[in-house]
Chains A and B, each alone.
Chain A
Amino acid sequence: MFNIDRWQEIFEAISKNKLRTFLTGVSVGSGIFILIILLGIASGFKNGTEHQFSRDASTLIEFWSNRTSKEYNGMNSGRRIKMDIYDYDIITKQYKDVLEYEAAGFSKGNLTTSYESESGTYRLVGTMPDRLFLENATLVAGRFLNQRDYEASLKVAVLGIPVAEDLFKEPESGIGKIISIGKIQYKVIGVFQDIGGERDEARIYLPHTTLTTLYNTTNSGSSFLFTLNPIANYDLALAQTEAFAKQVKEKLQKRHKVHPDDLTAIRYNNAVENSKDIYMLILGMNLFFWMIGILTLIAGIVGVGNIMLIIVKERTKEIGIRKALGAQPKAIVAMVLHEAIFITSISGMIGLLLGFVVLEIIGGQIQTEFILNPKVNFSIAISTVILLVISGAVAGYFPAKYASKIKPIIALRDE
């Protein structure tokens, strides 16, 4: 109900009781402010953790090979096993329906990469289009390798951001430039960054076919990277990925005549196994910060209720006068609540705004790796303010109700 007279009464009471208004506002505003900062830090902490622990896609299954450690079928141990593109084709064909992303990787080092007068030595990785998702990398400029690059063995390169910085100073300016790697020229088509850090970034991605053809190592050892179609349930995902990994391993062991119990020849890493810890850690942290948030909120509500009680006590005499002059009980309750809701909403919004501003300013300057991009979901923040205002009103209702029942004779008693 919009009643201009009541608003005028409220504004008069507010403007004539600046200290009271100010103190109420500060306590509510600072409560909201602290809550926003806390929630912001919590989300930053969560982002930082996810970032720290997810260098690669969190469901990545990676296969690689090394020397055998067991004799088998008359062959000595110490034999070097090299997985090749045929292995890869067999696996991808057989598991076509369950694979989400797939890529083979073939690495080569010791070649100098140069552009004009700048040069350096970086790891070359021949790979396939899905690699971007498997590494959990993001493009800074240009594009990643595509199917055509791969099928036509084009001489194109995607550079990690430190590589691009070495060669071009401005990473973006490298797009379309021609670089040479070991006397062969490649066109730069993209620049990527990988939160896995230096190890995953100081490299150059080339089409798998280009690299293996150029260096005549078609059958040389590669690593295989897969993710399976995602399953929400952690236990099911784990079971499925483990079954997949074991089957592939057995198949590879058979093809390369490796003893079934050989631990070193064919190896794999299933990231799903470890993501349970991350999952639990993030869950735990979320719980922790929500607890702190809720406790802060409770403290805020109690604070508002307390202030309301004090305000009503302070205004007891005024309330008595108003009642003697003919104010009805509900007019008293409305007056106290209206003022309380008005002040808590305004100061809550100010605290909210300040919290956002401070998060925005500080968020960009935080250098630690554990806090990343501390932001608060706006709708959560707004609901927090609304919740605090409502609970402030509820907490204020009881003192207001009590005030409205004070007998004017008692309120007006001199001393």
Chain B
Amino acid sequence: MLKYTNEQIAAMIAIQNLHKSYQIGSNSLPVLKGIDFNVKEGEMVSIMGSSGSGKSTLLNIIGILDEADEGSYHLDNIEVKNLNEKIAAKYRNKFLGFIFQSFNLINYKTAVDNVSLPLYYQGVSRKEREERALFYLEKVGLADWSKHLPSELSGGQKQRVAIARALASDPKVLLADEPTGALDTKTSYGVMELLQQINDEGKTLIIVTHEPDIAAMTKRNVELKDGLIIGDTIINQVRPQLHV
């Protein structure tokens, strides 16, 4: 039924002519005004733009947290359109991992329980959940902190737990909304190094940021302004120099 171009078939994310506007009072405020955007598997893309440029809205639509008014969106060759809550939840769980600026850990759950939560919703057994959660916690360097509550962790550690949680369900794409927005520079670079390492292993990453130094650590830089893409460049990835 659907006809794909060759480019679309290869793309993990294929977006065409995406429109989105928000209703504020009686006025309609257009946020996205026709976005065409493709991401191939294994890419690490940063989306930049000033506040109000529509970068977070775009990320939310990619994350099936929000719906577009117009245009098409294919995630791993599946059209995302008019999904009911049940299917949307399934897709989010299966395809996507989220990393938020404010971490969004559940404050009464330990690190390992936070990480295993997506697996709980996949119906994975408790024992296996715990094993896999510990594996990812170790990957982010927090194996020793698995039994700690978020309130006992530093900001950088919280974001690492959140990254482990995003990885736990082995999603196709990781979406990060200002992942370093609440962290100091040194911690930010540590988090970015971890994200680069995850990308090196083949995971597709999309990172929304307004910090140029963070954007420079990705492989491709997309710039948004007033709801339109004004720049899309492949860049030379900068590796953070932590120990200098």
Interface residues of A (CB under 8 A from B): 4-5, 8-9, 12-13, 16-17, 317-318, 320-331, 404-405, 407-409, 412, 414
- A208 CB to closest chain B CB (Å) equals 81
A322 and B117 contact, Cβ closer than 8 Å, known pairs A8-B126, A328-B85: yes
In the assembled complex, the Cα of A318 lies from the Cα of B109 at a distance in Å of: 11
Q: Which A residues touch B89, using CB under 8 A?
A: 323, 326-329
Q: Which residue of B lies closest to A323 (CB)?
A: B89
The answer, among A8, A317, A404, for a CB contact under 8 Å with B104, is A317
Does the CB pair B66–A407 fall under 8 Å?
yes
* Contacts beyond the supplied A326-B90, A409-B66: 17 A-B pairs with Cβ under 8 Å: A4-B126, A5-B126, A8-B126, A12-B108, A16-B108, A320-B104, A321-B104, A323-B89, A324-B92, A325-B169, A326-B169, A327-B89, A328-B121, A331-B121, A404-B85, A405-B85, A407-B65
Q: Which residue of B lies closest to A408 (CB)?
A: B65
Q: Which residue of A lies closest to B106 (CB)?
A: A318
In the assembled complex, the Cα of A13 lies from the Cα of B85 at a distance in Å of: 24
Task: List the 7 shortest-distance A-B pairs measured between CB atoms, nearest first.
Answer: A326-B93, A16-B108, A409-B65, A326-B121, A328-B89, A325-B118, A329-B85
In the assembled complex, the Cα of A321 lies from the Cα of B113 at a distance in Å of: 14
Does the CB pair B104–A328 fall under 8 Å?
no
Question: Is B100's beta carbon under 8 Å from chain A?
Answer: yes
- A269 CB to closest chain B CB (Å) equals 73
Q: Which residue of A lies closest to B113 (CB)?
A: A12
A17 and B165 contact, Cβ closer than 8 Å, known pairs A326-B118, A412-B100, A414-B101: no
Question: Is B145's beta carbon under 8 Å from chain A?
Answer: no
Question: Is B185's beta carbon under 8 Å from chain A?
Answer: no
The answer, among A12, A325, A330, for a CB contact under 8 Å with B93, is A325
Q: Which A residues touch B109, using CB under 8 A?
A: 12, 16
Interface string of B50-68 (1 = CB under 8 A from A): 0000000000100101100
Interface string of B69-108 (1 = CB under 8 A from A): 0000000000000000110011011100010111011101
Does the CB pair A322–B126 fall under 8 Å?
no
A321 and B60 contact, Cβ closer than 8 Å, known pairs A326-B92, A326-B93, A329-B89: no
Interface residues of B (CB under 8 A from A): 60, 63, 65-66, 85-86, 89-90, 92-94, 98, 100-102, 104-106, 108-109, 113, 117-118, 120-122, 126, 165, 169
Q: Which residue of B lies closest to A329 (CB)?
A: B85
Q: Which A residues touch B118, using CB under 8 A?
A: 325-326
Q: Which B residues touch A326, using CB under 8 A?
A: 89-90, 92-94, 118, 121-122, 169
A5, A9, A321, A323 — most chain B CB neighbours (10 Å): A321
- B59 CB to closest chain A CB (Å) equals 10
Q: Which residue of A lies closest to B168 (CB)?
A: A325
Does the CB pair A327–B98 fall under 8 Å?
no
In the assembled complex, the Cα of A102 lies from the Cα of B45 at a distance in Å of: 104
Does the CB pair A327–B121 fall under 8 Å?
yes
Q: Which B residues touch A13, using CB under 8 A?
A: 108
Q: Which A residues touch B65, using CB under 8 A?
A: 324, 407-409, 412
- B98 CB to closest chain A CB (Å) equals 5
A324 and B98 contact, Cβ closer than 8 Å, known pairs A8-B126, A409-B65: yes
- A369 CB to closest chain B CB (Å) equals 55
Q: Which residue of B lies closest to A321 (CB)?
A: B104
- B56 CB to closest chain A CB (Å) equals 9
Q: Which A residues touch B122, using CB under 8 A?
A: 326
- A66 CB to closest chain B CB (Å) equals 85
Q: Which A residues touch B117, using CB under 8 A?
A: 322, 325
Q: Which B residues touch A328, using CB under 8 A?
A: 85-86, 89-90, 121
- A314 CB to closest chain B CB (Å) equals 12
Q: Which B residues touch A320, using CB under 8 A?
A: 104
Does the CB pair B108–A325 fall under 8 Å?
no
Q: Which residue of A lies closest to B118 (CB)?
A: A325
Does the CB pair A414–B102 fall under 8 Å?
yes
In the assembled complex, the Cα of A331 lies from the Cα of B120 at a distance in Å of: 11
Q: Which B residues touch A317, using CB under 8 A?
A: 104
Does the CB pair A17–B108 fall under 8 Å?
yes
Q: Which A residues touch B121, using CB under 8 A?
A: 322, 325-328, 331
In the assembled complex, the Cα of A408 lies from the Cα of B65 at a distance in Å of: 6
Does the CB pair B106–A321 fall under 8 Å?
yes
In the assembled complex, the Cα of A414 lies from the Cα of B102 at a distance in Å of: 8
- A323 CB to closest chain B CB (Å) equals 6
**5 A-B Cβ contacts within 8 A?**
A322-B106, A326-B90, A326-B93, A327-B89, A409-B60
